[in-house]
Chains A and B, each alone.
Chain A
């Protein structure tokens, strides 16, 4: 294709056009999708360590029974902030970063449709996150009521309360703006011939994710605003003294919260769907059914929210409905797992680092899926609910699920971004350390949960001591292994073996037709897709 011809030397790859401004101004005022994508990804990586450090405070305290390091209230602040940072500050921005970098290159567009909005949606993030983090230093400490912010407990938050609400508003605003941008880009800027059903799966998963974001982030914003008015303006949405009901908040929160789960995992599905075909040297199996499966998951995500609340005392009919609808999600999710397996079947598989992380994703996400299926069965859920079994379940889908998806994507596209191959040996070491430690961390949590350990407790009965110690060892191992990831990235940015345009063995997608590193502006002239 034509745009491959202007590659020239890499030092002057954008000499046909204005280059990026130098210094800080480049990053503050940029409207370039690649710069913004980079900022999202770097920001997410920093927040991974901020949120990770908090989880290590948690695991250090839980290393053995008794209170050794922190007060219970600070422990609760850590569990709350860890979740908020990881969800809103780390994993969501990471995938928006991937979307920024890759979607225009995948659909043959020169940039995102709304570049100034793009700049704004990124720059809201650091300020919103700093606002949230600043609550750690406020009288009364950071929010300690869990990321679910259930009233009445959340109304006992100290000075941090309005800052919590405002930062959730800002983070939600950033997500909505990013989502609008992605939808407009995909709908309007596809290259000629790039019909919707020719788009790479990553674009499809993000298109659907973006709609989910627009649908549910305002619901969360509404919910937390009601908390704010309950606290300061005399309303009684959730206060029983005024005729309100705290359960209402749970319905609102999980109407946002369950689609949010898929907002986090669907882009990872997309990345995995890009990587598995490349390293199996075989096209994605059942492309169309994969698209329909994602759409089905997105639809079902709106009608399952109350499975987070089986113990609040719902009518029998309600429990039966939410049990059934929740289990239905297993069907499209199963279709995805089976299609990925079929993609590898009779392929020609090689195990570069992105593939290793994707294969681990397949196995470990499926384990999270199984425990999810178990949690859907209401009578059994009465035992599992709010125990460490749930903690194990959602960490299996979020860490070796969503996070491994993001890491796999980072390794997959790093050569395209930097123009250098990453250190394959170190990448593999990083993989094996991560894959082993993530299981040491989270698998024993199934056991203590089933044995009766509640979640969100700073100290526990001595019978849970052994598995908690193992889990903590795994957590520290996993945490420190990620420093290796940072080292591999820095090394790759600084130099290394030059990457070819294709990088991998005949991968599919327009991003592999442009030079490595991708020029500052790509597809000034739209490619033609057959």
Chain B
């Protein structure tokens, strides 16, 4: 039975080695209030930029809300405040037009280099084509003859049915687990090509600071470089129909040697039971 052999091989070489890594990752903390720092150079810079704007807003907020609060407390009718009659001050208006202008221009100036970096996909060592479907993802390792679908894990899928009677808290990584994750090598610049087979989807992994739309008829591209081995989870971020909330993304990052081994095994699994032989990695490249 080719399919049974395939399943067994899949278990032995794909699921088990990765399960160890997945288990090592604790579930995301509850009560998380901020953006994750992430595990790519871009995600770290994005986080820093986010914190910078946040603090700029906090400082402006303290000043503006402080002034408002002071006015509300100090100039109260009930305390006998007598209203002033002025209603204009060119100096003040020039100041609060010019200073915000400087701030926004400066913020754009700060954000631009990072944006340029994000858009620079040159020098990628591995290309993965990601295709969105209603409601699953397909991953294809371009030039390595490996492709597979990635759908919501069975356990989550059972628990998410209407009044399923299964407590989501008992399901590990509820709604954030798939049958087969995307596996990528660490410390490797990976370019992704993104498209869709039906409606719009968006591929989002917060830890990589990557979000891009999958659009039928178009191919979007981007890149990421994962520095730490681990399992990273995300979700579809563009409304794509009834199961939009149920097509998660799981990426497992492993050291490059392990990745090469995995890729070979995975190709064998794909070819198990077929007439032709799985090409070896060297032969393809």
Contact = CB atoms under 8 A, between A and B. Distances in A.
Interface stretch (A6-14, A208-216, A264-272, A375-383): A375-383
A65 interface: yes
Contacts of A465: 30, 169
Interface stretch (A36-44, A129-137, A332-340): A332-340
B29 to A, nearest CB: 7
Nearest to A385: B211
B108 A324 contact: yes
A348 B83 contact: yes
Contact of B71 (A156, A281, A345, A458): A345
Interface string B47-68: 0011001100100110011011
B109 to A, nearest CB: 10
Interface in A432-481: 446-447, 450-452, 454-463, 465-467
Interface stretch (B14-22, B182-190, B238-246, B254-262): B238-246
A129 B167 CA distance: 39
A240 B217 contact: yes
B251 interface: no
A496 to B, nearest CB: 23
Nearest to B51: A380
A456 B234 CA distance: 15
B160 A463 contact: no
B2 interface: no
Interface stretch (A97-105, A189-197, A285-293): A285-293
Contact of B88 (A286, A334, A344): A286
A289 B213 CA distance: 40
A382 B200 contact: no
A344 B72 CA distance: 7
A462 B175 CA distance: 8
A374 B209 contact: no
Contacts of A285: 87-89
A345 B46 contact: no
B72 A153 contact: no
Contacts of A153: 199-200, 239-241
B242 A281 contact: no
Contacts of A316: 115-116, 119
B229 to A, nearest CB: 20
A284 B86 CA distance: 9
Contacts of A156: 199, 241
17 contacts: A153-B200, A246-B217, A280-B83, A281-B83, A282-B83, A313-B215, A344-B68, A346-B75, A366-B61, A377-B50, A377-B107, A379-B42, A383-B50, A387-B237, A451-B28, A454-B237, A463-B29
A377 B152 CA distance: 32
Interface stretch (B92-100, B123-131, B270-278): B92-100
B198 to A, nearest CB: 7
Interface of B: 27-36, 42, 45-46, 49-50, 53-54, 57, 60-61, 64-65, 67-68, 71-72, 75-78, 81-89, 92-93, 96-97, 100-101, 104, 107-108, 111-112, 114-116, 118-119, 159-164, 166-169, 171, 173-176, 198-200, 202, 204, 206, 209-213, 215-218, 220-221, 233-246
Contacts of A520: none
B211 A382 contact: yes
Interface in A205-239: none
Contacts of B32: 447, 450-451, 463
B10 to A, nearest CB: 26
A461 B245 CA distance: 10
A343 B34 CA distance: 35
Contact of A240 (B118, B216, B241): B216
Contacts of B216: 152, 240, 246
A528 B112 CA distance: 55
The 7 closest A-B pairs by CB, nearest first: A240-B217, A457-B245, A313-B220, A283-B87, A350-B77, A451-B32, A327-B104
B53 A312 contact: no
A323 B106 CA distance: 12
Contacts of B57: 370, 373-374
B72 A65 contact: no
B159 A379 contact: no
A287 B50 contact: no
A331 interface: yes
Contacts of A240: 216-217
B239 A150 contact: yes
A254 to B, nearest CB: 14
Contacts of B204: 386, 452, 454
A425 interface: no
A76 interface: yes
Nearest to A66: B168
Contacts of A71: 162, 242
Contacts of B212: 311, 313, 382
Interface in A382-399: 382-383, 385-387
B107 A370 contact: no
Nearest to B28: A463
B107 A312 contact: no
Nearest to B174: A462
A152 B46 CA distance: 31
A162 interface: no
A23 B11 CA distance: 77
Contacts of A337: 64
Contacts of A282: 83-85, 87
Interface in A32-77: 64-68, 70-73, 76
A349 B200 contact: no
Contacts of B243: 72
Nearest to B248: A461
Given A335-B93, A462-B168, A362 B68 contact: yes
Most buried by B among A66, A280, A324, A335: A66
B115 A378 contact: yes
Most buried by A among B78, B84, B161: B84
B111 A334 contact: no
Contacts of B86: 346
A67 B160 CA distance: 6
A349 B242 contact: no
B23 to A, nearest CB: 17
A67 B115 contact: no
Contacts of B60: 370
B244 A456 contact: yes
B168 A65 contact: yes
B209 A458 contact: no
Contacts of B30: 462-463, 465-466
Given A156-B241, A373-B57, A385-B202, 14 more contacts: A76-B242, A311-B202, A312-B220, A313-B221, A316-B116, A327-B108, A347-B71, A377-B49, A382-B46, A450-B34, A454-B245, A460-B245, A461-B28, A462-B171
Given A350-B76, A457-B244, A466-B30, A379 B168 contact: no
Contacts of A382: 46, 118, 209-212
Given A286-B87, A346-B75, A362-B68, A311 B199 contact: no
Contact of B36 (A146, A283, A452): A452
Contact of B67 (A144, A335, A345): A345
Contact of A323 (B101, B108, B206, B241): B108
